[in-house]
Amino acid sequence: MADPRFNEIFTRPENDIFHVVFFPDRIYHAQYLNATRSPRYRYNVQEVRGQLDINVLKGEVYLDGKFLCNFLRVEYRASRLIEQARIRNRFVQGELMAYINLLPENLPPVGATIKLRHCPWIDAHQVEIWETLEPPANTDHDVKVLDMMGHQGSITRISAFNPALKNIKQLKRIELSFRENDRDLPFGFTIGNPAWDNNFRRSFQVPNTQTPSSSQNTVDVLNYLINFQRGWYLQADQTNPVRYLNAMMNDGDPERASENIIEMRWLLQREFGSSVVFFHEVIIPPGKVEGTHQHIGSEELYYIVEGEGIAYMGVGDDPQTETFPTVTRNIFGIGLKECKELPVKTGSIIFTKSGGIHGIRNPGTKPLKFVAFLYHSS
């Protein structure tokens, strides 16, 4: 017997409003998931996470109102992979490959490489991994959906994933990377050097040592991390800092010194979705400086929480700074540029868009502390 709550959810007036206003609520209404080409199937999407071009959904599939199995869906819009393929004089076509590594709680990791097919309804490559493709006893799958099922189909099954999918609420973390298909379409020749989107040279910071600017504190990763944890409760002062010597300063900069060490507590990094890269707390001791530098393709915000200091912003970056003193700064990797010198204190905000210049110095006798987050602007 079909559960009437499904139809009630679909037809309630407030859900029609949400359907239009709140992305990604279209997911909860299941209009663009694979099996919904037949009204016999309903999805109960329990979690959605996104990062850059990626959406990952997990939940339950119902057939004729009865629970069928758990599922995992991956959607990928491939903008980074498109750029990587262009370098090789190729275009991304209708099929891609994804490496999916499940990291369930209380179970060993399990990974597999799987095919993603382009779906024009969402303009993305996608696949759904179901716990089973077998219909319940005395029931058949709808023919509108059956042709999508099977090995390398848009609805598929990976037997090694079943222990993790069986208790899908305990599946909190998933690693992903993407590459071109093994063969070019439509011509069919083998692609021997496929382009990858494995979170291009992404790394994260860990306080493995207190030696300033040690490479041991940088952990390289070759994947994206999707994290289904729903919240974090943190105490910043319980996180050990990573220390940096002459951060973002050129050789020959007169402010470089063997004791010019600043500290950063990396509070959140890979936990973020969307295009956010990190949220951290920076401590600049008295007399120390973070080098003035420029971001291209990313944006960063500083919020001063303690102390007083001097911030630097490129001339013309904010017209409202025109009346402040103009000084020449040695910009990391660029050279000498004119900047505005801005006094900052508790509550001051420095927001820098792509192409902007910023840096900060503590000329006082007490620590200068600020929090910052950075995200990709495209």
For residues 57 and 189, membership in a common domain is answered with yes
3-state secondary structure of 19: helix
- Give pLDDT tens digits for 334-362: 999 999 999 999 999 999 999 999 999 99
Q: Which domain holds residue 350?
A: 228-376
Give a yes or no: residue 214 inside a domain.
Answer: no
Q: What is the CATH number of the domain that holds 342?
A: 2.60.120.10
Strands of the sheet containing 298-306, edge to edge, are 242-245, 261-268, 276-284, 368-376, 298-306, 349-352
Q: What is the pLDDT of residue 190?
A: 86
What's the mean pLDDT when you consider all of the chain? 91
Amino acid at 363: P
For residues 254 and 131, membership in a common domain is answered with no
For residues 355 and 234, membership in a common domain is answered with yes
Burial of 50 (0-12, 13-18, 19+ CB in 10 A): middle
For residues 272 and 320, membership in a common domain is answered with yes
Which of 144, 174, 197 terminates a domain? The answer is: 197
Give a yes or no: residue 105 inside a domain.
Answer: yes
- Total domains in the chain come to 2
**What tokens does 182 get?**
């093994």
**What tokens does 140 get?**
């058949």
For residues 255 and 172, membership in a common domain is answered with no
- Is pLDDT at 252 greater than 60 in this prediction? yes
Distance from C-alpha of 283 to C-alpha of 291, rounded to nearest angstrom = 14
Q: What confidence category does residue 27 fall into, taking pLDDT thresholds of 50, 70 and 90?
A: very low
For residues 327 and 370, membership in a common domain is answered with yes
For residues 164 and 286, membership in a common domain is answered with no
**∠ Cα 349 212 283 (to 5°):** 25
- Is pLDDT at 261 greater than 90 in this prediction? yes
**Regarding beta strands 326-331 and 41-51, do their DSSP bridges make them parallel or antiparallel, or are they unpaired?**
unpaired
For residues 158 and 276, membership in a common domain is answered with no
Letter string b/e over residues 17-47, b meaning 16 or more CB atoms within 10 A of that residue's CB: eeeeeeeeeebbbbeebbbbeeebbbbbbeb
Which of 155, 181, 197 terminates a domain? The answer is: 197
Q: Which of 29-33, 90-94, 313-317, 364-368 has the lowest mean pLDDT?
A: 29-33
For residues 233 and 353, membership in a common domain is answered with yes
For residues 110 and 259, membership in a common domain is answered with no
- Is pLDDT at 129 greater than 90 in this prediction? yes
Give a yes or no: residue 61 inside a domain.
Answer: yes
Residues 6+ apart with CB under 8 A from 121: 32
pTM, full prediction:
0.88
For residues 250 and 320, membership in a common domain is answered with yes
For residues 182 and 239, membership in a common domain is answered with no
